[in-house]
Amino acid sequence: DAKTTQPTSMDCAEGRAANLPCNHSTISGNEYVYWYRQIHSQGPQYIIHGLKNNETNEMASLIITEDRKSSTLILPHATLRDTAVYYCIVLSGGSNYKLTFGKGTLLTVNP
Amino acid sequence: NAGVTQTPKFRILKIGQSMTLQCTQDMNHNYMYWYRQDPGMGLKLIYYSVGAGITDKGEVPNGYNVSRSTTEDFPLRLELAAPSQTSVYFCASSYGGGSYNEQFFGPGTRLTVL
């Protein structure tokens, strides 16, 4: 699976959009981009995933560049409860199921 | 649905003791996983299972054993506990792999080995 690079930490004001970048320049054509988050002391929580097209669900939007070498997770209206570590993970398609968690980005949402 | 449940929530072991961490899921998922998370680090995969009777090693399997006799349960056994096994342990399950790899995590078991 391709490696990912994320900033160590980011800040965001409550109510504003949080844009979390992820670089995955060695991604292959059949590899998915997954995002999880981990609120302090809790188990990780799935947010969203995509292959080529942009994706949106009730939690967030995922924007993948046309060359697929980077992506951005967007939380449209961040709240204090969105303060967490966000993990960007690249995973092969097919039967691959072993997520590799890096250190992620600590997003702090400030009042 | 309760999702993924883990017991116990906390445990202190002495060096050399053994214990079993319990994990149960009620979503009828085929895939189950055990991770450990050391302070300030990401999760590391210990063992995983793609179905009842099938298990395989992950990234850090030494010192642990697993079994999967039912779809619902995936216990993790620690034999001869060592201080290096002090960590938070998370169990997870998913429907499948690839594009179906939305993993659901339990609340974790915080283990200290003294």
pLDDT of residue B17: 97
Furthest C-alpha separation in chain A: 43
B41 and A103 in contact by Cβ < 8 A? yes
Cα angle at B90 between B86 and B96, to 5 degrees? 145
Instruction: Name the pairing type of β-strands A45-50 and A31-38.
Output: antiparallel
Find residues 27-66 of chain B whose CB sits inside 8 Å of chain A: 31, 33, 35, 40-45, 48, 50, 58
A:B CB pairs within 8 Å: 69
Over chain B (114 residues), the average pLDDT of each successive run of 10 is 93 97 96 93 91 93 96 96 96 83 93 96
pLDDT of residue A2: 66
Q: Suggest the residue from A1, A39, A99 to mutate for an interface test with chain B (most B CBs closer than 10 A).
A: A99
Within chain A, which residues score under 50 in pLDDT? none
pLDDT of residue A96: 67
Determine the straight-line distance between the first and last CA of chain A, rounded to whole angstroms: 37
User: Cα dihedral angle (A39, A40, A42, A43), rounded to 10 degrees?
Assistant: 60
CB-closest option in B4, B58, B96 to A98: B58
For tokens 């017991």, what's the residue? B7
Q: Does B95 touch chain A (CB under 8 A)?
A: no
CA distance A15 to chain B (A): 27
3-state helix, strand, coil in chain B (%, to 5): 5, 50, 45
Contacts of B104 in chain A (CB under 8 A): 46
User: Cα dihedral angle (A80, A102, A45, B47), rounded to 10 degrees?
Assistant: -150
pLDDT of residue B1: 75
